[in-house]
Structure 1
Amino acid sequence: MDPMNKMEQLIEQLNQYNYHYYTLDQPLVSDKEYDRLYDELTALEAQTGVQLPDSPTLRVGGELLDGFKPHRHLAPLWSLDKAQNEEQLLLWNGRVQRLIQDYNTKHPENSLPAPSYAIELKFDGLTLNLTYTDGKLVQASTRGNGVVGEGILAQVKTIKSVPLSIPYQDGTIEVQGEGIMNLSVLAKYNETAAEPLKNARNAAAGALRNLNPRTTAERKLSAFFYNVGYSDGIEFANHQEMMSFLRDNRFKVNPYVSYHDDFSSVMDTLHSIVETRSGLDYLIDGAVIKLTDMRTREVLGYTDKFPRWAVAFKFEAEETTTVLESVTWNVGRTGKITPLAKVEAVELAGVTVQNCTLNNIGDIERKNLKFALGTRVFIRRSNDVIPEILGKVTGEQDGQEIIYPESCPACGFPLEQRGAHLFCNNSLDCKPQIVSRITHFASRDAMDIETFSEKTAEQLHDELQVHEAADLYTLTFEDLIKLDRFGEKKANNLLAAIEQSKGRDLSSFLYALGIPNTGKSTTKVLADHFRSLAAVMAATEEELVSLPDIGGIVAESIVSFFADPFNQAGIQKMLELGVSPKEPQAAAAVTDSFFSGKTVVLTGTLHQLGRDEATARLEALGAKVTGSVSKKTDLVIAGEKAGSKLTKAQELGIPVIEDENEFIRLLNDN
């Protein structure tokens, strides 16, 4: 037989065996027989110098890659709204029922069916987006920001449950799933690993985002698939048809998918999943509930972030006990000293926990932890947040004392206690503060200097004496090219990003400065009101407190910041080096709107309008949108899950709109 024909025959045969072994868990041949055929294929590839696109030999991993290339998804990968408890889940279902009823009332001739539900496990791994064209796997990427991800095709090809080719060959499709490492595989890997892996989630994510595909292959990952996000020509009537399509095209679909016509059955199944969760061979952190009917999904649509037809039910936080071993003290951007607890390693919600949050010395006192070193404490992990210590197991003061530092652990400067916190006031010569300030200045919501990281800030500080944000604009190619890990491309990219940042808007620039006690909403208020950097810098406390969202403490912080000669000099230096914050354009005045002249606070989740869209529409109608409720607030728009802001508004007697449909009607009436 011709070698090429023989190779094609072997590939088809081996891929069939792989599919039955890794996807269906139904081996057709012995390992010895499989290895004989695999070796025959390897020999033919060596003889011909050809490796066909769907050859199983590709799964061992290839050469080391230069870097990840961005991939723009053909359709957005949406996040899911979260229900933290059964009450929130029932609220979600009630909203779905109302939306369907409203639609059916308006469209009786084309009404939607009664809702039915699919329940899937929410895997704790790394989201994968696979692109197939004419039946061939041509790209694989991470979720990224939902629009653009990182291309990881070489890594994903090493996952043996991912088909390299599929029967469906009519154009292009995108399929979403989750890359995981089975717990049994992790345990076996760690038996011989030089550096054992700590948990399955990080093991999977680290393997898939590793520039060496051979490392990915060594981890022996798996993947489950649950969605067709884009297709040139195929449509599904319901979720069941989509799952059948995935199975028919050799994708591994998790067997724990169930369908329900009654929501009480949904709740019962969720309870069952929680009870059996610990027996699974992979990590899950919840379950996903979806409406099955595709036309209903299309009608209900999306908010700016989430589909209205699906929700993630998050499991309750898990708690355990362990021993508090030590406390270290870290220095933040503002000089605040934060304690970090190291505990005896313990498994919690599928993760090995060794570090826990302690917040401040007030937290230590409140939780009776002052004399807790060496004793057993309660810890809790909620979702992916770093675990926190809840308190001592016993009420006795029977442990060693946690000694509060008197001087800065980084620079040795005497510490000052303000309220429950300790502070280092050596802002000009304390490395962690300097590095954090520069990192904050370059961050996405601030000057958005692409490719910049905390490691970059530390390297520039140590080797090029970059001690303030203004120093970034003095960097040259000659400065950067002599640094470790800085080639020509990286140096030029960083310089281009720094240059591009010079024209950021005034609000972003003010936020980048890191003014104490101010966040993005406050800097936007400043930019919109004063409209120039000079006016903001010259503002008095009296002028500032008259603005929405700004009280006495914030006003004092702003005035003090701009009165500091060091800050003034840094800003002046940036201006001289070409930084020119873009001043906001004056909007046409609206005087006849219901919202014109009102100070409005948005709180809770708006499902028909996203927060950004609601803010933009309110401002276009002459309102001022702020982030906190005070006596200056004229109106509060309260969406679902509204919390303390709604309570405060009610206490102050401020008018509240809690019906989102009424809010939208008022917007549309103007």
Structure 2
Amino acid sequence: MDPMHSMEELVAKLNQYNYHYYTLDAPLVSDKEYDALYDQLVSLEQESGIVLPDSPTQRVGGEILKGFTPHRHLAPLWSLDKAQNIEQLRSWNARAVKLVNDYNSKNPDSLLPQLQYALELKFDGLTLNLTYTDGRLTQASTRGNGTVGEGILEQVKTIKSVPLTIPFHEGTIEVQGEGIMNLSVLAKYNETAAEPLKNARNAAAGALRNLNPKVTAERRLNAFFYNVGYAENITFTSHKEMMDFLRENRFKVNPYLTYFDNFDDVMEHLAEIEQTRSELDFLIDGAVIKITDMRIREIMGYTDKFPRWAVAYKFEAEETTTVLQSVTWNVGRTGKVTPLARVEAVELAGVTVQNCTLNNVGDIERKNLKFALGSRVFIRRSNDVIPEILGKVTEENDGEEIIYPETCPACGFPLEQRGAHLFCNNKLGCKPQIVARITHFASRNAMDIETFSDKTAIQLHDELNVREPADLFTLQFDDLIKLERFGEKKANNLLDSIEKCKTRDLASFLYALGIPNTGKATTRMLAEHFRDLHKVMSASVEELVALPDVGDIVAESIVSFFADPFTQAGIEKMLALGVEAKAPEAPKPVSTDSYFNGKTVVLTGTLHQMTRDEATSRLEALGATVTGSVSKKTDIVVAGEKAGSKLAKAQQLGIETIEDEDEFIRLLNQQA
């Protein structure tokens, strides 16, 4: 076959695979198959000396550029007016309603339709303006001042979700979007980076405005698109029509794009986005509301800076800067000693922040924080978790040194550094470890000893010499009744609860032991697979790695944990004192005549007639596989009230959705 023809076929095939992988999140082939075709294309290009303009080999980044070339946008890139609160949003809407009503009263022969709204995420990255001429990407630029930006074509070509060619070949169009770095990609990058990146927004902006495209390529950026700013030979009647055009031309459109007829519904979904923003794998700093009808947009027009038909609603900031004041060191139940930073009090995401996590000494080194005491630092808070320090604002070592402890801050035992972490190995004599192990053992998801708390664990440690979970089963009424705040009733209740917990199942017992690097899902899987405590204890690394979702690190953790004589002795003592660690019930036969048998199902939103766990159990009993994310492999998405991005993505991919809970219940109860 002619080499040119072979290259054209390979380029078309690889670009198709790229589109499904990076834009649709629905891979068609394995990485191994893709790599084999890619290598074949590289060989042909080297042999022939020819590289096709849309070849995926052009995404790795070319030579260092001498500077940025100015690019004058074909149509202005407008800023958005901002609403700081719900009242300002309602005022914006009231003005829009009045304008439409005034127009209709004066123009009865050409009435404007009722207002409809599109609600989109407001990405926190760098605005991109892409120019396509006759279907080929010919320029890419930053927003700049809205009229002229900087040409960054070579950098943008490295973003694999940006199409190099599109099906629309009729003249020139300009498409706007946002260049971002996914948070998971940032975390992975920082694991090995010589200079960790402080946050995803700066990482994306810095990569796209870097004169070396190879640096851009290394950061594996992503992009979402939301507007056609200029177009020859095509017009749109609505925002939805425009977004459909973008999808049809292989641009990545974020699935969280919803349309509403009622402005109150927009307000309700705004609140949902704000509540769930921490679940996203990219930064947003708000949401954008747009009026969908293009004729209304034209009549509403623009101010000097903003379109009147759109408004941005800013959320509480999740990132800010403050001063790092001090660092203290805390001991956990595994003996790990972790740093806790005290910062100058600052308002962030609606709360006053004074403490931040630093993870470990390796984290301090990677983030250039070793000499940061008294310096200004970036901090980030997501959801309700303790905020994290991302790095110093300046690169200089202009602060005081953070001193790493050499002995345990609780018991004085010499510390050992393993990897990036410091450990106290004094399991039998370090109070914070002992108290944390006992409290975890008694917690609800573990042995569920009612009324037990960390205060109880401290009291038992200090006054009754309780040093390990097994000691709980030796407690006597006469011992407890002597303790402060322990009356007869409280003593009996605790002893009764300890007695009841002896019959907890194997999965709960394994979780209660606190095996490092394992959670509830892993311990349940171990219990269901081995169905015997001693078989779990004697399992080899090879046996464990063969199980679903168990990698080398988790397998090594499990084997090392049960190889410890201290652990073995504690377990045998508990068994001798009546702890059963019962094997789970034999799995019930799966129904094969159900609507859900053999299908992969995703649950999203709020169900009112059963809990999410109950729905999962019912589906699994009917032969379904329940997963947490929507992909091309998903067969059905069950959407409860306030279902968000998962439902939107399912609709985008054409996946079957069940949005009526009564219908879902009917199908659960129905036998084929």
The TM-score, its normalising length taken from structure 1, stands at 0.49
The TM-score, its normalising length taken from structure 2, stands at 0.49
